[in-house]
Every structure is written in C-alpha cells, then in structure tokens.
A = this chain, B = another copy of it.
Amino acid sequence: MGKRIPIVEKILSANDRLATQNRARLEQAGVVALNLMASPGAGKTSLIEHTIRGLHGELRLAVVDGDVATSIDADRAAAAGARAVQINTGGECHLDAVMLQGALNELPLEEIDLLIVENVGNLICPASFQLGTHKSVLIASVPEGDDKPYKYPGMYRGVEALVINKIDLLPYVSFDMDYFRRGVEVLNPGLVTFPLSCRTGEGLQAWLAWVRDLVAGVRAKRDA
C-alpha cells in the first residue's frame, strides 16, 4: 500500500472542503438536502417518487440522480413532478461533492425547499464521501437479507435515518427483523427507522412526517 493512504486522505479532505461549500450554498438558498443511499434495487427511486407525490403542494422538490449510466431515475423523478438533474458517473461507484456542486449549478435553488440526492447504488463507497447534504438516509430492502448491517458496517454507521423497504415481501423471504435490528443498534444506537413498502404504501406516512419535520426544523433553526 505504501504511499496510498495519504493520497486518499488528501482527496477526501478536498472533497470535505467542497462539501462544506455545497452545504453553505444550500443553506443560503434555504434548501434542505438529503443524501439517499442503498444497494442497487433497494427502492431509492420508488421512495423518491412517493416522496414527491406525498409532499406535492407542500414543499417544492428537486432530485439529483447519480448513476453509472442512463437517465432512467431522473426521468422517473421528473415524471413524478420534481425538477431533476441526472449525473452519469461513467465508471465511478459513488457521488462526490464535486459532482453535486456541478448539479447544483443546474438548479434554481431559490425555488426549491427539499433536494433529494439519489446516490449510486452501492453499500460501500458512497459512505466515504460527504456531499454537503443535511442528512444521510439509507434504504435497506427486505429481500437483501437480514445480515447487511453486519456485513456493511461503514454504511450503517454513517446515516441519520434508515428506511426498511419492501416489507410486503416479509412473508416470502427469510428475514429476521430482530437480528437485523440488533445489528443496526450496535452500529448506530437509537437510529430512527421507517419500515415501509413503496408497493403497498404501508408506512409511508411516518417517513413523510419525518421529512416534513426535518425541513421545518432546519428552517426554524435558520430563522431563530
């Protein structure tokens, strides 16, 4: 490994400085931002669609979608009624603060209340890169299995909320919710969790309430 770690630390530190700039820019414009992370196919885009529709008329939403390729996700967010910017990372396995900076340039920030950044589908790499968002949210998915907190501790440790999606599939797969929750609790004690199903709609109201409270809380702090 030799000289590798110092170089990586330097890149991360440059990224963190840019993340701080992104955060200042968001705050100045009054935008509250979420960094949504998950494995491929855990339901990031579906949750975003439900969030856009569920908060329609209350909050002005925008979405930044990170993917290795295609604009499928941004197209879905736009169809659901939000402003959407797609970032294609090429081969890159995560979003970083530079990419978000570029996406922010494409958005009329003064006209946005809530920005959801949909990170690249990956349970490892995105955890290492701050973007400047207010909260990091992880989506776990029932069919992924109950051992994921144990196997991907970095991701579970670094988030401020956890959505457990696809609970409608619980009858059809082996998923021990107690074992899963014990793993989460060790890594991230007291983490707020939202078991829900984007397919049936069960549990979505609690998630939407959390998002509403978050936006109101950040604003109250700013205006205080």
CB-CB under 8 A from A202, the residues of chain B are none
CB proximity to B under 8 Å, residues A43-76: 67-70, 72-73
Whether A68 touches B124, Cβ cut-off 8 Å, given contacts A40-B144, A41-B145, A144-B41, is: yes
Nearest residue in B to A146 (C-beta to C-beta)? B41
Copies of this protein in the assembly total 2
What number of A residues sit within 8 Å (CB to CB) of B? 35
Alpha-carbon distance between A150 and B41 when the two chains are bound, in angstroms: 12
**Given A68-B153, A169-B173, 19 other A-B contacts at CB below 8 A?**
A39-B40, A39-B121, A39-B144, A40-B123, A40-B145, A40-B151, A41-B141, A41-B148, A68-B151, A69-B150, A69-B153, A70-B151, A72-B150, A72-B151, A91-B154, A122-B124, A122-B125, A168-B172, A169-B172
Within 8 Å of chain B (Cβ to Cβ): is A128? yes
Task: State whether B41 touches A124 (Cβ < 8 A).
Answer: no
Asked if residues A70 and B143 are in contact (CB atoms below 8 Å), the reply is no
Which residue of chain B has its CB nearest to the CB of A175? Answer: B41
Q: Which of A26-48 contact B (CB under 8 A)?
A: 39-41
A166 interface hit (Cβ, 8 Å)? yes
Q: Which of A41, A123, A166 has the most CB of B within 10 A?
A: A41
Cβ < 8 Å to B, chain A residues 124-180: 124-125, 128, 141, 143-145, 147-148, 150-154, 166, 168-169, 172-173
The answer, yes or no, to whether A120 is at the interface (CB within 8 Å) is yes
Contact call B91/A151, Cβ cutoff below 8 A? no
A148→B68 CA distance, assembly (Å): 11
User: A67, B151: Cβ atoms under 8 Å?
Assistant: yes
In the complex, are the beta carbons of A68 and B152 less than 8 A apart? yes
B residues in contact with A128, CB < 8 Å: 91
- Residues of A172-215 at the interface with B, using a CB-CB cut-off of 8 Å, are 172-173, 199
A69 to B73, CA, bound (A): 30
Q: How far is the CB of A71 from chain B (nearest CB, A)?
A: 10
